[in-house]
Amino acid sequence: MTGKLRLATTSLAGCFGCHTSFLDIDERIIPLLERVSFDRSPLTDVKHAGACDVGLIEGGVCNEENLHVLREFRAGCRTLVAVGACAITGGLPAQRNRFDVGALLHDVYVAEPGLTRRGVPDDVELPRLFDRVRPVHEFVKVDYFLPGCPPPADAFWAFLTALLDGREPALPKELLRYD
């Protein structure tokens, strides 16, 4: 591979735990940076993903802003990777799928006691919520899945180094986990 691999990462309806786990590759980040340059990522503060080799998506899709970012990644990234339980299954945020969103918002912002009862926030700047939290593969084509909650740091390392070396990034079973 010539030049550096361009990598973008983001979290949709996630907790950034996958990013934290990624950083748990510890000092291996230094050799990685010799082969990888970061595009949009919490590590760079770049606001929009451009043309990239690889995009790592953490988190599922719970609102239209998530979808907007996901589509930007899909359009810009040659290889799109769904990372972690939330991106792959909806995860913890998808626990709300058994409830009606309108009723939930009513409970939280209207019915339940609280400091202010100004009703459900409806500023046009707020992204609209989906009826259900869905995994990213239900919106766009996903090339690879890196499961785990979060995926172990070694899984990130094994996956990225395989991609960098031009190998098919198949995880060994020890690094494959759903929790």
Partner 1 sequence: MSRSAFTLDGAEVPFDDGQTLIEAARAARRYVPFLCAHPDYPAHGSCRVCTVLVNGRPMAACTTKAAAGQVVESDTPALTADRRALVQMLFVEGNHFCPGCEKSGGCTLQSLGIELGVTSAGFAHESPVRPVDASHPDLLLDFDRCILCELCVRASADVDGKHVFALSGRGLHKHLIVNAESGRLVDTGMSVDDAAASVCPVGVILKKRVGFSTPIGQRPHDVATPRQQVEGKEGA
Partner 2 sequence: MLECHPRKTACGVQGSERVRSVSDILDAHWREPTRLVQVLRDVQRSHGNWLSPKALTEVAAGLGLPRAQVEGVAGFYAFLHLKPVGRFRVLVSDDATDVFAGSRALLAHLAERLQVAPGHVRRDGQVSLDVTSCTGLCDQPPAVLVNGLAVPRVEGARVDELVACIEAGTPVDAWPAALLRVDDGVRLRGPVLSSMLAPGEALRRALAQPYDAQVRTLTESRLRGRGGAGFPVVTKWATCREAPGSAVVVCNADEGEPGTFKDRALLAGCADLVVEGMTVAARFTRATAGFIYLRGEYEFLAPHLREVLARRRAAGLLGRDVLGERGFDFDVEVHLGAGAYVCGEETALLESLEGRRGVPRHRPPFPVTRGYLGRPTIVNNVETFADVAVVFGHGVEAWRGLGTGASSGSKLLSVSGDVARPGVYEVPWGVTVREVLALAGGADAQAVQVSGASGELVPPREFDRRIAFEDLACAGAVAVFGPQRDLLDVVTNFARFFAHESCGFCTPCRVGTHVAARSLDKLASGRGSDVELAELATLTRLLRDTSHCGLGATAPNAWRHWLEKFPDDVRRRLRDGFTPGFDVEAALEAGGSRGASR
What's the sign of the alpha-carbon dihedral 98, 101, 102, 107?
Answer: positive
Site for partner 1 in 135-164 (CB under 8 A): 135, 137-138, 142, 144-147, 149
Report if residue 96 touches partner 2, rule: CB under 8 A: no
**Residues in CB range of 145: below 8 A, 6 or more apart:** 81, 82, 87, 88, 137
Binding mask 118-157 for partner 2 (x = CB under 8 A): xxx-x---x-xxxxx-----xxxx----------------
| Interior/surface letters 153-177, b for 16+ CB within 10 angstroms, e for the rest | bbbbbbbbbebbeeeebebeeebee
d(CA 121, CA 134): 23
Among 5, 23, 29, 92, binds partner 1 (CB under 8 A): 92
Q: Which is nearer to partner 2, 43 or 126 (CB)?
A: 126
Among 14, 55, 91, 152, binds partner 1 (CB under 8 A): 91
Altogether, the residues listed in the chain come to a count of: 179
Q: Which is nearer to partner 1, 47 or 98 (CB)?
A: 98
* Shortest CB 126 distance to partner 2, Å: 8
